[in-house]
Structure formats: structure tokens, C-alpha cells
Structure 1
């Protein structure tokens, strides 16, 4: 497959690029700083701006696009920048007729109990609220659309970015927070990337949000 990865130098983006490349896919890694893209034989690094007028042209011809885009968690304008970028990616995917757009969103929009999303609990970190809320709004927008072939994955609530451990195993959920025993579930970066590329290969959650966690 020919797979585009948007935000290829972020934590999740790096893992997705590595996993896709390890399976022999042709990967185009879109990043602000292409020098940070891992150099692999089947990975092409491309400098990008999702807000550029010609970004849709860059997304044509792919079998799937994975967006690991975010506005930057320490960015004081994270919410507004995320919203602007998310809208640009959605419209570019529509214009390019992308066969499958898999958006990596946050855990904040997962439900911790009926009608209560994690982002709306008192414990949710206020310093990342704006970015997480923008991700939630992106999901809301996508859920009302059928002019883009979208899917949306939320990492587990305790995703901490273990970058080494790859078991190739994971559990799949839908809209609710997953637990391991009594604790909020976690997953390693390689296993999250494995779940993402598994889904891209099968287009397994068209027009759906799903979540994953350690097996």
C-alpha cells in the first residue's frame, strides 16, 4: 500500500511510520521538519503545511492517510491551531478523494460513564483541555460526514508512550474508556502503531471511532 502519515515526527507519527515501513508499505512522511523523519528505504520525507492551499494535491494517489496531527500540547494556541489544521485535513482528504483517512485523536472524548466523556471530568488535565476539546470537536464533525471516508482512533486514557515494547497484541473497544483491572488501560507505542496499521490495511472501522489498549 501507499500510505501517507501526517505529523510523522510526533510520538505517534514516528511509531506509525516505522510500523508501516516494516511491513513493506510505501510511506510518505509529511512533517514540518523533514530532518527528523527516520531514514528508511521505503520512507519518503516531505515538508508540509496542512493549511497550504495545495495540500489536497499532495494527498492524491494514496491508499490511506493516517493523521497524527496535533496543535502542540505546549502551544498556547493549541486549540485554535488544532481546529484549523483538522478542518484543513478533512477538506483536503475530501478534495483528494482519499480512500481511507484514519485520524489519531485523543482519549478525552471516550466515555468514562454514560453521557460523561473523560474530558469533562474534574480530573482531566486543564493544561491540555483546549487541544483535547479540539480533537473531540473533530470527531463530532466527522461523525456527521459521509463525504470523507474517515475513521478515528483514541489511544487509551493512560497512554504514556513506551516506545520499545512490541507484542503485536491489543484489545479493541469502541467509545468507552478501557481498563486493565481497576486501572485505566495503557498501551505501548509500537502496539498502538500496530493497531493503526492493522486497521489501515483492512479499513476495519469505516465511519467509526474505536479505541485500543494492551492485551
Structure 2
């Protein structure tokens, strides 16, 4: 499979890049600063690009079988909310205009439901420093839910997304966090990458949001 990976140098993107290449997929790694990409796989193409316009996205992803977006507008960006929504919309529109029918978007856990009708991002204990990013991802989820012309999937990680090990094991839910026997909603970024490439290879959540955890 030919995969265009947006945000390939980020925390999630780096793990997805390694997982996809290790499974033999051809990956175009797209990032603002490509100097951080050290992988030398024969299956890897590196492209520098900014995803703030649909025209740029279209040129970057044309000819691929699927697009994976781990786009992050920057946690310290004072315009994080606006920039994330603008970039995410450009990725969606550019992917469609390029004729790529498959798009996986990595969002946040903030839009998962802590209780019926109550999303995590709206609870009092939600960390203030993550609120702008979580709210923008939640609002883009509401946008992409209306999209019916391409096969999109929105993946919300577990509440705790941490560096760790690749076990290849995880459990899934649609709208509520997956908790382990200790009451923790947790996943390693390596296993998040496993879930993303699994979904590319054997789609189960087309035009749906899903989440994972141990």
C-alpha cells in the first residue's frame, strides 16, 4: 500500500512511520521539517510541506492509496485551535481533491464520553493546557462525521498515550474510553501505530470514530 503520512516527525507520526515501513508499505513521510527523519528504508519517500492549504495537500498526497494524518498544530502555538481546524480541513479537502479515497485522522481523547452526554474535554478535571488542542480535535470530528464521499476513520487514542513497547495487543470501543483492570485508559504510541496500520490493512471503522486501550 502507498501511504501518505502527514506529521511524520511527531510523537505519533514517528511511530506510524516505523510500523508501516516494517510491514512493507511504501510511505511518503510529510513534515514541515524533514531533518528529523532518519529512517533510510527503500520504501520511504520524504517530502517537506505545509498542510495549511488544500492545494498543497493535494499535490503532496496525489497518487497514494491512503492518507494518515497525525497533524499537530503545535502544543505551544497560541493559535492552536484555529490552525488545527484550518489544517485538518485542508487535509480533508486536499485528500478528496487528489482522488484518494481513504483517510485516517488521529485525534485526541478529549471527545470521548466520560458519561452519557459529557465529553472528557468538558469535565472539570480536564487539564487546561490541553483544552485548546482537545477542543479543536473534537470540533473537527464533528466536521468529518458529515463527510460521506470518502472512507474516513477518526482514531482517538487512550487517555494516557505514552512511549513504551509494541505488544500488538489492544481493545477497541467507539465513543467511551477503554479501561484496563486497574481502571486506567492507556496505550503505548507503538501500539497506537499498530492499530492505525491494522485499520489501513483491514478496515473495520469506515466513516466512524474509534478508540483503543489495553
Per the normalisation by structure 1, the TM-score is 0.95
Deviation of 1:182 (Å): 4.7
Q: CA deviation at 1:59?
A: 1.2
Gaps of 5+ in 2: none
**1-side partners of 2:39 and 2:190: how far apart?**
18
**Residue 142 in structure 1 maps to residue 183 in structure 2:** no
* Equivalent residue in structure 2 for 1:73, among 47, 67, 75: 75
Question: Aligned-pair distance for 1:54?
Answer: 3.2
**Distance between the aligned counterparts of 1:25 and 1:59, measured in 2?**
15
Q: Deviations over 1:87-119 (max 9, x none)?
A: 111110111121210000000000011000000
How many residue pairs end up in the alignment?
212
Q: 1:47 and 2:13 equivalent?
A: no
Q: Deviations over 1:22-67 (max 9, x none)?
A: 0010010001111111322211110011124332122111111100
- Tell me how far apart the structure 1 counterparts of residues 80 and 130 of structure 2 sit (CA, whole Å): 8
**Paired residue for 1:29?**
29
Moved over 6 A (4+): none
Q: 1:106 aligns with which of 105, 108, 124?
A: 108
User: Aligned with 1:29: secondary structure?
Assistant: strand
1:123-149: CA deviations, max 9, x gaps? 111112111111001100011110232
SS in structure 2 of the partner of residue 180 of structure 1: coil
Q: How many angstroms apart in 1 are the aligned matches of 2:116 and 2:169?
A: 28
**SS of 2:68's equivalent?**
strand
SS in 1 for 2:8: coil
User: What is the deviation of 1:12?
Assistant: 0.2
Any conservation in 2 of the 1:156–1:186 contact (CA below 8 Å)? yes
